[in-house]
């Protein structure tokens, strides 16, 4: 994980951290309410419909099934917690223990399964699992078999800070495994929804740990609904405004930035030299890697520049409040850095991991491409007053740089 991705992960974790802190801050004050916690829990569970709907709409299927599993499990837990079904104390306690274990088990299933749609085999299998669990719970309740078959892993253990009779070693172990998996996933699939999942798992485990306290479940579920909603909203925003390949702001984001510019600014248009020939010769995979490399260097632009991928092999950098003399040194620094960054090509049969000892005399398995860029930059003037006119002037300057031999800045 790079520095930029690490900073982004920390920023995304800030929202779940604030919500978890707020839940524990509000917990003693909410307990002062005279109303029944049942209706608060019902309202909190209904809130899960909002992120559930948007996760399905924006094709966040793992989040959807996780929310579905939580909704069903928490509904069953609320029903049994408030004695809405007739049962003796022993049966109710064991039934609630099994519900918590099954919620944790379902979360583990969702993390392991590759769910990529509603009608895929993995999603159908998961639905079958949920239905089977519901049937087994109903059978256990009606036949009173859960008390008889209560496994050793469900026996209560002495836990610090709580007298909760519902948490079992099995439930704790399953939730802990899911949390560890989610932490590991943040290093490979950094996104707002992933950090929201981690925050939700932590809040859910706290809710189960202190579930005997009034309103704790309602507060936790409310926090989970807010986390999921915020994570899905941020991911949807990124899908619309962030380029997937280069992780730079996309054209739509650039258009929004252009609307906020004042009376003084510069726009630079950048193009990778001979990119089409490179793509035709080495293939699109190499072309994508070149785009990533160039974008990584463009991200480092100084002088207050705001980079974006304009389309294809073309990029743009906006400099609010800057003149032409201000920005040229910063653009030249980017151009030189890309020119001096070697792009390595290796044979297809190269090992995935570098050997401990490298034979410096043998370089036949590796070749290099010299990647360069051409730039055109324009400043807002009395003649070019609108952003469209300034961009056209920058495009003309870019065309001029190409005609003059490429790998240079023109204005």
Active site residues per annotation: 313
Give the integer Cα–Cα distance in Å for 410 and 400.
7
Between the CA atoms of 375, 376, 380 and 383, what dihedral angle is there, to the nearest 10 degrees?
180
CA 6 to each of CA 79, 189, 265, 320: distance values in angstroms, whole numbers, following the listed order:
42, 11, 31, 27
Task: At 364, give phi and psi (nearest 5°).
Answer: -70, -20
CB contact at 8 A, 196 and 231: yes
The distance of Cα 347 from the centroid of its chain, to the nearest Å, equals 33
CB 215 within 8 A of CB 33: yes
Helices (H) and strands (E) in the chain, counts: 14, 7
CA atoms of 36 and 81, how far apart (whole Å): 12
Q: Do the Cβ atoms of 164 and 209 come closer than 8 Å?
A: yes
Contact 103, 73 (CB under 8 A): yes
Who contacts 327 (Cβ-Cβ below 8 Å, separation ≥6)?
266, 268, 303, 305, 319, 377
**Which runs of E-coded beta strand occur in 303-353?**
306-311, 314-320, 343-346
> Under a CB-based contact definition with an 8 Å cutoff, are residues 199 and 13 in contact?
yes
| CA atoms in the 13 A half-sphere facing the CB of 311 | 3
Strand partners, 267: 318, 378
Contact of 309 with 248, CB cutoff 8 Å: yes
Other CB atoms within a 10 A radius of the CB of residue 31 amount to 13
Task: Give the whole-angstrom CA distance, residue 168 versus residue 118.
Answer: 32
């Amino acid at each position: 994980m790079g520095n930029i991705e690490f900073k982004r992960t920390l920023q995304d974790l800030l929202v779940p951290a604030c919500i978890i802190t707020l839940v524990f801050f509000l917990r003693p004050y909410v307990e002062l309410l005279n109303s029944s916690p049942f209706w608060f829990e019902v309202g909190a569970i209904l809130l899960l419909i909002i992120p559930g709907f948007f996760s399905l709409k924006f094709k966040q299927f793992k989040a959807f099934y996780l929310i579905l599993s939580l909704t069903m499990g928490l509904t069953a837990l609320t029903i049994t917690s408030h004695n809405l079904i007739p049962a003796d104390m022993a049966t109710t306690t064991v039934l609630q223990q099994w519900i918590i274990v099954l919620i944790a088990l379902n979360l583990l299933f969702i993390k392991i399964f590759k769910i990529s749609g509603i009608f895929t085999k993995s999603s159908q299998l998961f639905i079958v699992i949920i239905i089977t669990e519901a049937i087994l719970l109903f059978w256990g309740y009606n036949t009173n078999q859960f008390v008889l078959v209560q496994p050793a892993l469900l026996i209560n253990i002495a836990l610090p800070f709580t007298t909760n009779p519902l948490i079992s070693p099995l439930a704790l172990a399953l939730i802990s495994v899911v949390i560890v998996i989610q932490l590991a996933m943040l290093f490979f699939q950094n996104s707002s929804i992933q950090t929201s999942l981690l925050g939700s798992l932590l809040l859910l485990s706290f809710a189960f740990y202190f579930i005997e306290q009034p309103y704790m479940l309602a507060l936790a579920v409310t926090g989970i609904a807010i986390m999921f909603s915020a994570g899905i909203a941020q991911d949807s925003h990124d899908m619309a405004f962030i380029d997937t390949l280069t992780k730079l702001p996309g054209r739509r984001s650039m258009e929004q930035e252009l609307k906020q510019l004042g009376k003084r600014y510069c726009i630079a248009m950048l193009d990778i030299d001979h990119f089409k020939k490179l793509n035709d010769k080495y293939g699109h995979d190499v072309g994508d890697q070149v785009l990533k490399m160039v974008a990584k260097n463009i991200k480092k632009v100084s002088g207050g520049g705001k980079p974006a991928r304009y389309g294809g092999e073309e990029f743009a950098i906006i400099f609010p409040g800057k003149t032409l003399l201000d920005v040229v040194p910063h653009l030249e620094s980017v151009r030189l850095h890309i020119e001096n960054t070697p792009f390595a090509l290796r044979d297809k049969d190269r090992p995935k991991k570098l050997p401990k000892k490298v034979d410096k005399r043998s370089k036949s398995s590796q070749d290099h491409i010299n990647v360069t860029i051409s730039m055109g930059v324009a400043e807002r003037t009395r003649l070019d007053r609108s952003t469209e006119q300034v961009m056209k002037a920058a495009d003309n300057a870019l065309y001029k740089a190409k005609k003059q031999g490429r790998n240079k800045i023109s204005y």
